[in-house]
Amino acid sequence: MIVVVLLGCLILPFLLNYVYTTKNRRFYQLLEEFPSYPTYPIIGNLDKVYGRSDDVLRKLEKCMQPYNRIVFWFATIPTLILKKYDDIMAVTNQCHDRDFYGFTLPWTDVGVVTARYDEWKKSRKMLAPAFSTEMLFKYVNVFNDKASALVDKFKSVADTDQEINVWEHTMATNMDIFLENMMGVSTTVDGESGKNFGEAWCIAFQCINQRLFAVWLRPFFINYVYLKITRKIKYLKQLHEFPEKLIEGTVADFRNGSKNFDDVCSSKTMIDLQVKKSLLDASITRKRMRDEISQIIGAGMETSSLNVCFTMLNLAINQDLQQKVYEEITQLPTENGILTFSQLSNDLKYLEQCIRETGRLYCVAVWSSRRTHKDCPLPDGKVIPAGTVILINLRWALTDEELYKNPHKWDPDRFSEEEVAKRPKGSDLVFGYGARSCIGTKYGIISVKTQLAHILREYHLSTSIKQLTAEDLTTDLMVRSKIGYPIKFTRRRNLQKN
Ligand code: HEM
369 or 189, which is more confident: 369
ipTM over 0.95: yes
Annotated binding-site ranges: 438
Average pLDDT over residues 344-363: 96
For a ligand 1 pocket test, name from 104, 396, 438, 441 the mutation site with the most ligand atoms within 8 angstroms of its C-beta. Answer: 438
Q: Which atom of ligand 1 is nearest to the CA of 365?
A: 10
Average pLDDT over residues 120-132: 91
* CA distance linking residue 169 with residue 63, whole number of Å: 37
Confidence bin at 492 (pLDDT 50/70/90) = very high
Average pLDDT over residues 184-190: 63
Alpha helices in 281-379 (DSSP H): 286-317, 319-330, 341-346, 349-361
Least confident of 85-99, 279-293, 324-338, 440-454: 279-293
User: Among 408, 410, 395, which Cα is nearest to 316's?
Assistant: 410
Which residues 6+ apart lie within 8 Å of 322 measured at CB? 315, 316, 456, 460, 461
* CA distance linking residue 228 with residue 455, whole number of Å: 42
Predicted pLDDT of residue 265: 53
pTM score of the predicted model: 0.91
CA of residue 367 to ligand 1 center, whole Å: 11
Q: Which atom of ligand 1 is nearest to the CA of 429?
A: 10
Confidence bin at 259 (pLDDT 50/70/90) = confident
Average pLDDT over residues 74-97: 92
CA of residue 440 to ligand 1 center, whole Å: 6
CA of residue 304 to ligand 1 center, whole Å: 10
* CA distance linking residue 68 with residue 90, whole number of Å: 14
How far does CA 311 lie from the centroid of its chain? Answer: 16
Average pLDDT over residues 190-214: 79
Instruction: Quote the mean pLDDT of the chain.
Output: 89
Q: Which atom of ligand 1 is nearest to the CA of 92?
A: 16
Spell out which residues line ligand 1, taking CB within 6 angstroms: 92, 112-113, 124, 296, 299-300, 303-304, 307, 359, 364-365, 368, 394, 430-434, 436-440, 443-444, 448
Angle of CA points 312, 269, 183, to nearest 5°: 60
Predicted pLDDT of residue 242: 87
pLDDT(246) > 90: no
CA of residue 341 to ligand 1 center, whole Å: 21
How do strand 459-462 and strand 479-481 relate by DSSP bridges?
unpaired
| C-beta neighbour count of 326 within 10 angstroms | 19
pLDDT(391) > 60: yes
Any idea how long the chain is?
498
Predicted pLDDT of residue 275: 84
CA of residue 441 to ligand 1 center, whole Å: 7
- Residue 265, judged by CB atoms within 10 A of its CB (0-12, 13-18, 19+), counts as exposed
Confidence bin at 497 (pLDDT 50/70/90) = low
> Which run of H or E residues covers position 125?
helix 117-127
Confidence bin at 190 (pLDDT 50/70/90) = very low
> Which run of H or E residues covers position 3?
helix 2-23
Of all residues in the chain, the percent with pLDDT exceeding 90 is 60
How do strand 77-82 and strand 389-393 relate by DSSP bridges?
parallel
Q: Whose CA is nearest to atom 8 of ligand 1?
A: 431
Annotated binding-site ranges for heme: 438
Confidence bin at 182 (pLDDT 50/70/90) = confident
Q: Whose CA is nearest to atom 18 of ligand 1?
A: 438
Q: What would the pLDDT profile of 275-296 be if each residue is shown by its tens digit?
A: 888 888 888 899 999 999 999 9
CA of residue 298 to ligand 1 center, whole Å: 10
Predicted pLDDT of residue 9: 63
Least confident of 97-101, 138-142, 240-244: 97-101
Predicted pLDDT of residue 70: 95
CA of residue 12 to ligand 1 center, whole Å: 43
Q: Whose CA is nearest to atom 7 of ligand 1?
A: 431
311 or 364, which is more confident: 311
Q: Which atom of ligand 1 is nearest to the CA of 355?
A: 1
User: Among 318, 313, 392, 367, which Cα is nearest to 479's?
Assistant: 367
